Every structure is written in C-alpha cells, then in structure tokens.
Amino acid sequence: MERMTQEGLDLLGYGITIFDRDLNLVRFNQKFLELLGYPVELGKAGTPFEAFVRFNAEQGLYGDADIEDQIKRRIELAKSFTPHFFRRKAPNGVVVEIEGHPLSDGGFVTTYTDVTEGKSGRATANRLGRILDETSSEIYIFNARTLKFIQANRGARLNLGYSMVELGGMTPIDIKPEFNEARFRKMIELLVKGPARSLTFQTLHERKSGLKIPVELSLQYVAPIGEDPRFVAFVRDISDRKQAERDIREKSNLLETLNRVQSQYIATGEAFSLFEQILGETLTLTSSEYGYIGEVFYGDDGEPFLMTHAVSTAARKNMDHEKGGKAFLDLDTLVSSVIKDGCPVIVNNSEKCTPRAAKHFCKSGTKSSLASTRCPVAP
C-alpha cells in the first residue's frame, strides 16, 4: 500500500507535500523536488521544514537579509498553520504557484504548480478541489462582494445539514447567529484593505436542525487574476475544547469554594454560617434556584426524619437563607424516596408526582431514575 501510494503521488503533474504539526515532512512526490530544484537528499520522510527554508535562504530566494533571521521568521509563520497562496521563481527559472492549507489535526498540505509561460493551473485546481472535498475539515468559499457561498466541501455540508443547492442561496451570516451583515462586513474588511493575510476567530455555527455549535474559523481573502475576489474559510468544531474549558472552570470554582469555606470555618467555628455558605455556593455551581442541606436521623419507631442545616427560601439571584435546625417529620413526599431508597428523582412538576410513582420507577432498575408517566419530566 505504501509503495502504491508513493507511485500514485509521483504520477501527479504537480508537486505536493504534507508536513505534520511538528513541521516534519510526511509525504511528497518527485515533482515537488523537480519544480523547486531541491537536492535529492532532502527528499525523504522526516526532513524538517527548516531544511527546505534554509536551502531557499542560501539560494538567495528571500533577499539579502540575515539568513538565520529569514529562517526564524518563516518557521514562525509556518507554525501559524494558516492558508497561503503565492508564486515564486525557483533558481532553475521555473515559476511555481504555491497553495497551502492547514489540516484538521495539525500540519498542512501544499501543492506546487508550474505556471511558467502562462501555463494554466485549472486542471490542478480541479484535482485539489476533489482532494479537499473529501477532507473531514469544513471548507467554505464565498463571494467577497455578495457573500453568497460558491462552494462548500463535503465535511461542511454534512456538518451543517444543507445541500450545496441550499447553500448556494445563503451567506455566512445565515449560519452565524452572532453576526449581522454590517458587523460581518466590517470584520472581513480588515482582510480586503489591511495588511493581514488571514483572520482567525471563534463564533457559533447554526446547523439546519437549529443546533448551535462553537467553531474556530480561519478566513483568507483571495483575489485571482481575472476572477471575482472571494474568501476561503476553514472551520473546526471546537465543542470538545469548550466542554473541557467548562470542566476546568467548574473544578477550579469548586476548589476555590472549598478553600473559602474551610478558611471561614477555621476563623469562626460557626456551623450554621458554614452550611449557609456551602448551600449558596452549591446553588451557584449547579445553576440551581432552591435547595437545602440536611441530615437524616431515625426516631424510636425506626422512621426517618430530616434535620436541616440550611434552607434557601427564595430564588438564587435574590436568596434569603433560613437558619437550619428545623426537623421535618412527615416525609410522605418525593424526599422520602431519596432518603429511604437512595434513588435520585428528577421531575419538573412535583405536585403531580407521587412518592409511590417515583419509588416504583426507581425500583424498576432504570439507571436514569427519571419519574414515570405520572411524573412529567423535562424534555
């Protein structure tokens, strides 16, 4: 398979390279070495990107500036993994059109097309288009003037749930609920008039189903000769990253709460104030509005009763705590199911959910322990 893959790459009429996130060469073909005049010893997997840049610098392709500074600047630029498109005249006189795009897992793929004496790169562009259409990353191309989508690759269409016919009548604003047209045009104007070659930002994309997902978007302005200018957008779903950030924040907040409560208890030794603060912090951390902290005791008859240590009696944003120490002897409520069976109960209308119904559902073995049909639950 390895040999077949390399033979296939070497049959292409244009050069191609793939560098990984560490800027080491993973794939290439002989056309790449031929077009740019690189020595054969550089043509092996694992060759660092720096080796190619150093060769170019020593050939004078970057001007007369200090070679080490030139190499450092270009490596830093490569580490940004942003789309790039330009032409370069190689030492052998060949004019090469170079187009690179970042990959979803890091690194980038670059194609090198001989455009000496006006050779057309249209066939190459078509082949590259087919390759990019099959990548898992979302790629969008839209008109710089009308903002209408020109093309969206397969990954983009699958993730949004729209066909290309549907997207053809839409603009990026239709899938970006955080933007209106005026704000979006003001942002992309930085690429049209400014020195920046690309722009990276985070926003939300709205799927056809209405689900909004966080994404990171890299945008580039492209103005091909003789064609309408356009924007190319590379989009990455960052839902997992956002969830990880939320988890870290919640754990950090919990740790801060524990430290704060512990310090207060050491300083005052007052239990009721401690429980009130714990309750308030717990409601905040869980985004809850009401709650209590209590302890279960058993009477002489063996029946449990609840002794509260802190109780919230108002909405969380304007909370008024009551001192604990109140005993609740009548537990013929949903609370009894939790105390006696240790089974969580989730309902959104406790008045219509009887303890018997909740207890029966809990004992049915369902892991989620949601209420039965007699207990309406949240969707």
pLDDT band with cut points at 50, 70 and 90 for residue 117? low
pLDDT score, position 341: 65
Segment 147-167 shows an average pLDDT of 89
**Average pLDDT for the chain:** 78
Question: Is there a contact between 29 and 49 (Cβ–Cβ < 8 Å)?
Answer: no
Architecture of domain 136-237: 2-Layer Sandwich (3.30)
Question: Is there a contact between 123 and 133 (Cβ–Cβ < 8 Å)?
Answer: no
11-15, 353-357, 370-374: least confident range:
370-374
Is the pLDDT at 121 greater than 60? The verdict is no
Segment 56-84 shows an average pLDDT of 87
Single-letter amino acid, residue 282: T
Architecture of domain 1-123: 2-Layer Sandwich (3.30)
Q: How far apart are CA 197 and CA 82, in angstroms?
A: 9
Segment 116-142 shows an average pLDDT of 66
Q: How far apart are CA 189 and CA 181, in angstroms?
A: 12
Q: How far apart are CA 26 and CA 48, in angstroms?
A: 10
pLDDT score, position 100: 87
pLDDT score, position 305: 77
pLDDT score, position 243: 84
Q: How far apart are CA 107 and CA 101, in angstroms?
A: 9
Instruction: Give span(s): CATH 3.30.450.20, the chain.
Output: 1-123, 136-237
Q: 227 or 358: which carries more pLDDT confidence? A: 227
Tokens read off for 362: 């809990």
Q: Each residue of 158-216: pLDDT tens digit?
A: 889 998 889 989 999 999 999 999 999 999 988 888 777 788 999 999 999 999 999 99
pTM score, two decimals? 0.42
pLDDT score, position 232: 92
Residue of 33, 58, 56 lying closest to 44 (CA atoms) = 33
Give the distance from CA 313 to its chain's centroid. Answer: 39
pLDDT band with cut points at 50, 70 and 90 for residue 364? very low
Single-letter amino acid, residue 263: S
Is the pLDDT at 323 greater than 50? The verdict is no
Query: Which of 42-51, 240-249, 302-311: highest mean pLDDT?
Result: 42-51
Segment 324-348 shows an average pLDDT of 61
pLDDT score, position 129: 63
Segment 42-69 shows an average pLDDT of 89
Is the pLDDT at 145 greater than 70? The verdict is yes
Question: Is there a contact between 230 and 142 (Cβ–Cβ < 8 Å)?
Answer: yes
